[in-house]
A and B are shown apart, each in its own frame.
Chain A
Amino acid sequence: MKLPPVIARHARQFGTFAVFVVLCAVISVLTPHFFTVTNLLNVAQQTVINALIAVGLTYVIISGGIDLSVGSILAFAGVVMAHALRLGWPVPLAILAGVGVGAGCGLVNGLLISYGRLPPFIATLGMMSVARGGALLATDGRPVSGFGESFRWLATGEIAGVPVPVLIMVLVYAAAHLVLQRTKFGRYTYAIGGNEEASLLSGVPVRLYKTGIYVVGGGLAALGAVLLTARLNSAQPIAGINYELDAIAATVIGGTSLMGGQGSVIGTLIGALIMGVLRNGLNLLGVSSFIQQVVIGVVIIAAVLLDTFFKQSKR
């Protein structure tokens, strides 16, 4: 079968998208409640947080790294922002404080990895614990709740019928896609992940950009915290546990290689949607959450197995 070049070049994304379409089709045959506007918006809402974390992680993974701390960063950034709101800070300033804390944690990750030469796994494993501890210390382990209407609008509001969080997700993805494909930052992200030494010898400021990539990862996790806090009207110091694993899953299902150098933001979005649709569909079908865990795990493994299989059959 001869494929048009555009499709051949992005075969993986089209493949993931095809799986997504088939999945939606199957679920809508099985239950009439799936393919309704209300439910689809619901799926999108539930996907937003994971999708935001996953887009940052996609950058990190394409650059050949990993970030295990995003879930903890989300919690830490969330409680800091919540405190700021409770202290009566203007909403934009409080959000900026939260995102700043997230980006700051990312900066520490990046510096440890780039300049301290720590393996990303170790540096972010440490940060995972530090940021979680920070969140618990800052709140004495208790949730911070009760915010103004203007802040909650971020989760409850709609613009032209589209929920604000979904709109934010779409904007972030569009920007992330353009940055990855059209800017120096994106180009260097791929190059560093593909061959760090060759990049360095080609004049790429490797350490600077690697650091920047983790800052982006931390910042986007914090953005997830903003939306989560607004939705729950509460910031929990124990929020975001295992979120890094969901984000890694979405990224991997979307075709980004853990070896670095390969991957796409669009793939990750579809990956996150597949996970969202799967959870939603299984809920609608009344499948127990225990079985859901099993299904999600199988999907992750199947996605990577298929990748490996197709790569081998090309030899």
Chain B
Amino acid sequence: MEAAPAILQMKGIAKRYPGVVALDGVDLEVRRGEVHILLGENGAGKSTLMKILAGAVRRDAGTIALDGRECDLATPRAAQAAGVSIIYQEFNLVPHLTVAENIFLGREPRGQVPGLISAARLRTDAARLLRELEVTINPGAVVADLGVAEQQMVEVAKALSVEAKILVLDEPTSALSDKEIAQLFKVIRALRGRGVALIYISHRMEELFQIGDRVTVMRDGRYIATRDIPQTTLPELVSLMVGRDLTEHFPKKAVPPGEELLRVEHLSRTGALHDISLTLRRGEVVGLAGLMGSGRTELARAIFGADPVTAGRVTVKGREVKVGSPRQAIGLGLGLLTEDRKRQGLVLCLDIRANTCLASVDRFSAAGVVDGRRETAAAQKLTADLRVKTPGLHQRVVNLSGGNQQKVVLAKWLCCEADILIFDEPTRGIDVGSKVEIYQLINRLAAEGKAILMISSELPEILGMSDRILVMNRGRIAGEFTAAEATQEKILHCALGAHAA
């Protein structure tokens, strides 16, 4: 294939934060009409690089050229005017405005009366953009009422409306179902056909080969290599990313299961959970598979006392209990690593120590006074144990990369010595290297006699890590498999089952 001209050339980009070199002379070249994958572990500097491209972060050194002409991109506005659009993982939509209003936010078409917006043109322009994307979204619908995939399409339409020449997609599929991903890929290919350059960040390796043309690998804030996708392999990319060969992706070690720690019988919650029964034993990792919206998170929250249940019995360590609040659940030895670590797992503006000890303040305090030295010692030990990369315990967790943030959440539950752990998407948005570390940790916890319920949307993860696998479908347990008998096909069939029937 003849190489198209480079539309974007970033050279020698450097950015330092106090105590951390985020980017150290990174190069990136992207061509017109290609899907360029940006690959790297969390903390490799991809996000910072993209924020510099978007004008949201100022670079310390380096040059950026668009279409061969050097430009500054000092502000988000300048970057947008230059044709750069970014769709972040967390969408930038105003929930209570309509689709059309969101697409043209800040650039509303003028009406005939000066100062007023032309509602009709707003609608027709939005409808035209959405039609081009071949999606069926009503331009008059309120964004808050849309699903994640539809909201993402609104973001794409918004980017198109400013005639983006370079479109950055940061982990666009992390919350999408397979069908929605297929739709997104269709749109991406169409955009590529129109000559748009797409920069695509994702941790799902299998996607790269489906959608990418070229890939640039970053590691520890440095540029490592660029490859044509057809000429590279998964193992090569993984070793470029981590700087070492990962021989074993899922280092599963089976542990003989011990006593039963958790028994859930006929648990129901109107509209969400129907007659759920399951057990968890010491040393067991039970995978909980299912589609998005099948009730996995709802089940986790119900067991943890975060949502009320309408019926059912829960037995913890042989004693029947009523779990009315997370506090009670924690007192019984439960821990819940939530799906959304920023919103539900961490207090971002507090430091590592405070977050690590948040669920166990009680055990570090006497008569209400917290023993800071014991806290520090515990946090120090866990941080070192989990290999959290940080300059110190006083680092605010908002400054950590996703993988390190997740380790802090884990540290929180290890700190309060929970032995029934519910992990909701423990590796979402986490790079390959940290993923393996988290898998190893899950194994270690199982070996230490903890019981683990692991919710995951990644089937290889479920298959690779679990002793038993439960599949949820529309709020029910639709099937149960042993590790030996489970296959991707069986699980999927089960997860989709009732839809086909």
Q: List residues of chain A with CB under 8 Å of any chain B CB.
A: 5, 8-9, 182-188, 190-191, 194-195, 197-205, 261-262, 314-315
Contact = CB atoms under 8 A, between A and B. Distances in A.
A262 B396 CA distance: 11
A230 B386 CA distance: 58
B370 A198 contact: no
A204 B358 contact: yes
B346 interface: yes
Interface stretch (B154-162, B252-260, B360-368, B465-473): B360-368
B362 A184 contact: yes
A315 B362 CA distance: 36
23 contacts: A182-B372, A183-B369, A185-B368, A187-B361, A190-B347, A190-B354, A191-B347, A194-B347, A194-B350, A195-B347, A197-B344, A198-B338, A198-B343, A198-B358, A201-B336, A202-B326, A203-B331, A204-B327, A204-B358, A204-B361, A261-B349, A262-B349, A314-B17
B348 interface: yes
Interface in B377-412: 392, 394, 412
B368 A202 contact: no
Among B330, B336, B347, B416, max chain A CB count under 10 A is at B347
B57 A315 contact: yes
A185 B370 CA distance: 9
Contacts of B18: 8
A198 B361 contact: no
A184 B375 CA distance: 12
A200 B326 contact: yes
Contact of B365 (A184, A205, A315): A184
Nearest to A188: B361
Contacts of A9: 394
A182 B361 CA distance: 11
A262 B349 CA distance: 7
A234 to B, nearest CB: 38
B57 A187 contact: no
Contacts of B349: 194, 261-262
Nearest to A200: B326
Contacts of B372: 182
A200 B17 CA distance: 32
B344 A201 contact: yes
Interface string B319-357: 000000011011100001010000111111110001000
A124 B331 CA distance: 34
Contact residues on B (Cβ < 8 Å of other chain), bracket: 35 or more
B468 to A, nearest CB: 26
Contacts of B343: 195, 197-198
Contacts of A8: 18
B443 to A, nearest CB: 25
A91 to B, nearest CB: 29
B345 A198 contact: yes
B412 A202 contact: yes
Contact of B370 (A184, A195, A314): A184
B350 A202 contact: no
B57 A205 contact: no
Contacts of A5: 392, 394
A131 B12 CA distance: 64
A191 B358 contact: yes
A191 B348 CA distance: 9
A310 to B, nearest CB: 13
The 6 A-B pairs at the shortest CB distance, nearest first, are namely: A194-B347, A203-B330, A202-B359, A203-B327, A261-B349, A195-B347
Nearest to A260: B349
B306 interface: yes
Contacts of B361: 184, 187-188, 204
Nearest to A190: B350
B369 to A, nearest CB: 5
A25 B230 CA distance: 70
B370 A187 contact: yes
A205 B359 CA distance: 11
B304 interface: yes
Contacts of B330: 202-203
Nearest to B359: A202
Contacts of A194: 347-350
Contacts of A198: 338, 343-347, 358
Contacts of B368: 183-185
Nearest to B345: A198
Given A182-B369, A183-B369, A184-B365, A201 B347 contact: no
A17 to B, nearest CB: 20
Contacts of B359: 202-203
B358 A199 contact: yes
A200 B296 CA distance: 20
Contact of B304 (A185, A191, A201): A201
B58 interface: yes
Interface in B28-86: 56-58
With most chain B CB atoms within 10 A of its CB, the pick from A182, A195, A262, A315 is: A195
Nearest to A261: B349
User: Which of A187, A203, A204 has most B Cβ within 10 Å?
Assistant: A203
Contacts of A199: 347, 358
A197 B358 CA distance: 13
B369 A201 contact: no
A190 B349 CA distance: 9
A158 B372 CA distance: 36
Most buried by B among A8, A186, A197, A314: A197
Contacts of B336: 201
A201 B346 contact: no
Contacts of A202: 326, 330, 358-359, 412
B339 to A, nearest CB: 11
Contacts of B338: 198, 201
Given A183-B368, A202-B326, A195 B348 contact: yes
A197 B301 CA distance: 13
A5 to B, nearest CB: 7
A100 to B, nearest CB: 21
B233 to A, nearest CB: 38
A253 B407 CA distance: 36
A186 B354 CA distance: 11
A187 B306 CA distance: 22
A199 B326 CA distance: 10
B447 to A, nearest CB: 26
Contacts of A186: 370
Nearest to A191: B347
Given A191-B350, A202-B358, A261-B347, 9 more contacts: A5-B392, A9-B394, A182-B372, A184-B368, A187-B361, A198-B343, A198-B345, A201-B338, A202-B326
Nearest to B357: A187
B424 to A, nearest CB: 11
Nearest to A315: B57
A194 B343 CA distance: 10
A156 B326 CA distance: 51
Contacts of A182: 369-370, 372
Given A183-B365, A190-B347, A194-B347, A201 B326 contact: yes
Contacts of B392: 5
Nearest to A3: B18
A82 to B, nearest CB: 33
A183 B370 contact: yes
The residue in A183, A201, A261 that gathers the most chain B C-beta atoms within 10 A of its C-beta is A201
Contacts of A197: 343-344
